[in-house]
Chains A and B, each alone.
Chain A
Amino acid sequence: MKLDKQSYQRLLEQKSPPSPLPLDCLKAFLFGGAICTVGEAVSNFWQWRGLETTDAAAATSITMVFLGALLTCLHLYEKLAKHAGAGTIVPITGFANSIVSPAMEFKSEGLVLGVGAKLFVIAGPVLAYGISASVIYGLVLMLLGGGGGA
């Protein structure tokens, strides 16, 4: 049989099992929700300890990043993420995981060319475009005169 790309593409779509999307979404919702609930509890804890709401929010971010990094170091975060998918990627703990995991992985290439150079290999695009977006947003806000700043 002479194979052409179109008919092979149709065949392989038939034969390749798709990701179980509804189940993946449900698990992402439950795991992601659970992480956010923990975050809420941490936030309440800091407020109970006497921090103002804005300070408590910063302290909560710091705590969650620490927890994400700790679970990554203990090789527990990837086990959780296997089931949680986007539920562990989207919260700030996922951001910690995306920076700590390359730091651990590329330690064998040294502190400069390994850890230093590869630290942002996953989070880099998020930082680059996230910061760019906030700069553009800030400029727009300033030009429209809605900034309220200087």
Chain B
Amino acid sequence: MIEHIGQRTLYLTGRPYLLSHASAVGKKEGEGPLGAYFDFVTEDDRMKQKSWELAESALQKTAIHLAIQKAGLHKGDLDVILAGDLLNQCTGSFLASVDSDTPYLGQYGACSTMAQGLALGGCLVEGGAARRLLAAASSHFCSAERQYRFPLAYGGQRTPTAQWTATAAGAAVLGAHGTGRIRLTHVLFGKMVELGVKDANNMGAAMAPAAYDTISALLSDLGAQPTDFDCIVTGDLGHVGADLLLTLLRTDGIDLSPVYSDCGSLLFGDEQDAHAGGSGCGCSAAVLCGPLLRDMQAGKIRRLVFAGTGAMMSPTSVQQGQPIAGICHAVVIERSDA
């Protein structure tokens, strides 16, 4: 059953199980500080495919297959796949699941897609619409560049606030029944928040107000302090957005810093030239389905808020002068000892 708590938080009383998770990343991501925690690191970002879109779908497919395998399931055991990416018409995702023989729901939440898929998936499982489902998201630096920015070989300069689209994918299987210890307990669907940011090279700043809105609402609904959680992690605000979020919360007397991390800030090392940090649907998906859920399995994290952040924009909307809205969906994941 789904219970409403406070203004916007949903409590999933059956606490769906996170049966398995898997991550697949590109070469640069594999060379980063989290490299050892991903299930699959490719040496060839092209994934032996003839286009970058196919390469991204191959990466997402790898994560999906690994997650299904780890859950001890087979193709066809899933009731639905919820998947998304950054490309037009979710190209990376539909290509990855076209031969899955499984009902498919394409998702678009920009870089918040993994959190959106988990939140929606949790509700579908809790409501009985699916017994087992998979949520996945991916992004690829090369396919994103050609759609959103410039050809790869074009000589341009990035600003210090620009983020680096991660070549990465993550997938997680949710189920109504299981024996695992990691479970989804709460869900909060984010509102779009737009504060006039128009710089597509500063998406952390565009997303921080949405993260502030969602995290404030969640803490208030649950009557919780940040330290009631072991870790509160945002999707990919990067260094600039993360700093803004902490500042905004501090004005309300909330100190998030003891438990706070950001997937975009974690993914790349300072020497990797990623400027303000990682971004892209695959960034938070792979960091959650790699290091974070591994730490939960190992008992290092027992209560986690995963707040995926996305920037609602397209090349068309930016060219037409529209501001960039942020969005942030949150899920609470807990590890039980029973």
Contacts and interface: CB of A to CB of B under 8 A. Distances in A.
Do A and B truly interact?
yes
A5 B155 contact: no
Interface residues of B, number: 32
Contact of B151 (A3, A20, A89, A106): A106
B157 A3 contact: no
Interface stretch (B58-66, B76-84, B245-253, B279-287): B245-253
A75 B153 CA distance: 6
A94 interface: yes
Given A8-B195, A101-B150, A108-B51, A15 B155 contact: no
A12 B50 contact: no
Given A15-B205, A16-B161, A104 B151 contact: yes
A105 B195 CA distance: 35
A12 B197 CA distance: 9
A112 interface: no
A88 B155 contact: yes
Interface stretch (A56-64, A77-85, A130-138): A77-85
A77 B155 CA distance: 6
Contact of A85 (B51, B154, B157, B205): B157
Nearest to B158: A82
A80 B155 contact: yes
A48 B51 CA distance: 46
A11 B196 CA distance: 13
A1 B155 contact: no
Contacts of A11: 244, 247-248
B52 A108 contact: yes
Nearest to A72: B153
Interface residues of A, number: 38
Given A3-B195, A8-B209, A12-B202, A98 B247 contact: no
A54 interface: no
A82 B150 CA distance: 13
A108 B209 CA distance: 38
Given A8-B195, A81-B157, A102-B151, A108 B248 contact: no
A78 B244 contact: no
A18 B160 contact: yes
A3 B202 CA distance: 18
A27 B110 CA distance: 35
B246 to A, nearest CB: 10
Contact of A1 (B156, B160, B244, B252): B252
Given A1-B251, A8-B195, A15-B247, A89 B160 contact: no
B50 A78 contact: no
B101 interface: no
Contacts of B153: 72-73, 75, 77-78, 97, 100-101, 104-105
B146 interface: yes
A19 B161 CA distance: 9
B248 A3 contact: yes
A108 B50 contact: yes
A25 interface: no
A20 B153 CA distance: 24
A9 B195 CA distance: 8
Given A98-B154, A101-B150, A17 B160 contact: yes
Nearest to B242: A15
B43 interface: no
Contacts of B243: 15
A19 B152 CA distance: 22
A18 B159 CA distance: 8
Contacts of A106: 146, 151
A81 B155 contact: yes
B154 A97 contact: yes
Given A5-B196, A89-B155, A108-B51, 7 more contacts: A3-B193, A16-B160, A77-B155, A81-B157, A82-B158, A97-B153, A101-B155
Closest 5 pairs (CB-CB, A-B): A81-B155, A105-B151, A101-B153, A101-B151, A101-B154
Interface of B: 50-52, 146, 150-161, 193, 195-197, 202, 205, 208-209, 212, 240, 243-244, 247-248, 251-252
